[in-house]
Structure 1
């Protein structure tokens, strides 16, 4: 029977909103682990899905009061992201958004003492946010400096016009960071209802078996992380590359929805952006490589 392909209809025309995500990593006796948070089941966007901590860029992330707390100049952060047309202020704001979301969503404070009165107190910092204080205000009041050197740009994902799970479009910069050893990550019981430290391959196995829900960017990011045995390996790989930009395309093949990535014959960008399969096919509620689960790691 001949194969029939057709492009999926473009259902969303809104401009993607800038966002930042932090892939928090740690070493364990089982090897590399990453932190996943389960979004509240009643959330309009990806309810019940396990995600990395993150959220949309806020105007305050680019305020002078926030950029004054950086450990690196905005121009350096701009160079690290390597995006044409991205100005230094926006680059700084995206890094600050990543650090803010790490504190808001999982209680991790990626900062360093700066001055005699400095207090690196993640629990107090999160409580101050809950009391209504702004992120920059909290960091300044505790005498800290934002540790952007602990972040390494990993990838850039732009929600496609016909998204797989989301109801809104985002232009999200993914960063990797090592979890501070003296701090304990925990979900906020508001936007997120569960937190899970897990090896990347194990997370994908649980997704395959229906135990957890994941979105395609998390699937592909976990597949990339599964290639690393330690935090040091993943961080070194991130710092050695220019973060790839990934705008998925979707189409139907013999009635099956397929999402493809740069390097796939059906994608307009011919150069690969990442290792592994160049497409995922919808199988019931799951998106998996047409060649089978193990193709995620080839």
Structure 2
């Protein structure tokens, strides 16, 4: 049975057994490296029930604990609400919109601390993208991606049991490994990494004006994506 929708959760609008998309937050930790931009990623263990064996950014679902006790100003939540104004957490009432944005931001900060050992300031997280899992998937998420550039003194580390390793990797190297079949990416991760590679460096990425339009792939899109990746010749560049 599908879970009841909370604020900002996307209810299935197809068959009755379509699960709701749970709110989730993911953080793209970015820095400049010798071979272009680098990101901190996790190689998920194969036993996970979602994105098993995939290379992902730190993140997770929004929990009840994220609904209050924030250490960041309300102004930050309101600014983020403006960035997410096209997304499901948007609301006509400014207070509700700010609260919804605050919940997701709090989850992003918590997940980065839990999974990468980084305590970031809320002002370091920039709303970047929103993807919703297709309705034909058994586990669905309405995921809010943030971009963050941690300071040179802040060293991310591996400390999650959901992955067998976590480390900084060149964006170009990740995409080349995915193209050769050496590792797997979910569609949002692939698209966002390709964008970062085109932007070229962290400063350029931060300077980009974002008009965030939610990406809601149709049923069948995920299966088609992985079929295309399996059929892709190893020599083809990403």
Task: Note if contact 1:53-1:106 (Cα within 8 Å) is conserved in structure 2.
Answer: yes
2:211 to 242, 252, 257: 242
TM-score by length of 2: 0.81
32-41 or 150-159, which moves further after superposition?
Answer: 32-41
* Structure holding more strand per residue: 1
Structure having greater relative contact order (Cα 8 Å, sep ≥ 6):
2
1:156 to 113, 130, 133: 130
> Where does residue 103 of structure 1 map in the other structure?
113
Cα deviation, 1:89-148, whole Å, max 9, x if unaligned, reads: 0101111111111111111110xxxxxxxxxxxxxxxxxxxxxxxxxxxxxxxxxxxx22
| Structure 2 runs not aligned, ≥5 long | 1-13
Tell me how far 1:156 sits from its aligned partner. 0.3
224-233 or 15-24, which moves further after superposition?
Answer: 224-233
Tell me how far 1:244 sits from its aligned partner. 2.0
> Where does residue 30 of structure 1 map in the other structure?
35
Cα pair distance change 1:43/1:154, threshold 3 Å: same
| Structure 1 runs not aligned, ≥5 long | 1-8, 111-146, 259-279
CA–CA separation in structure 1 for the residues paired with 2:58 and 2:157: 11
Task: Note if contact 2:30-2:39 (Cα within 8 Å) is conserved in structure 1.
Answer: yes
CA–CA separation in structure 2 for the residues paired with 1:207 and 1:94: 29
2:55 to 31, 50, 58: 50
TM-score by length of 1: 0.66
Q: Does 1:70 align with 2:72?
A: yes
> Where does residue 186 of structure 1 map in the other structure?
157
> Where does residue 142 of structure 2 map in the other structure?
171
> Where does residue 79 of structure 1 map in the other structure?
82
1:220 to 172, 191, 194: 191
CA–CA separation in structure 1 for the residues paired with 2:215 and 2:126: 17
Cα deviation, 1:36-93, whole Å, max 9, x if unaligned, reads: 1011221121222110000000111121x22xx1145232221132234262101011
Task: Note if contact 1:23-1:52 (Cα within 8 Å) is conserved in structure 2.
Answer: yes
Task: Note if contact 2:117-2:157 (Cα within 8 Å) is conserved in structure 1.
Answer: yes
Q: How many residues align?
A: 216
CA-based RMSD:
2.7
Cα pair distance change 1:235/1:105, threshold 3 Å: same
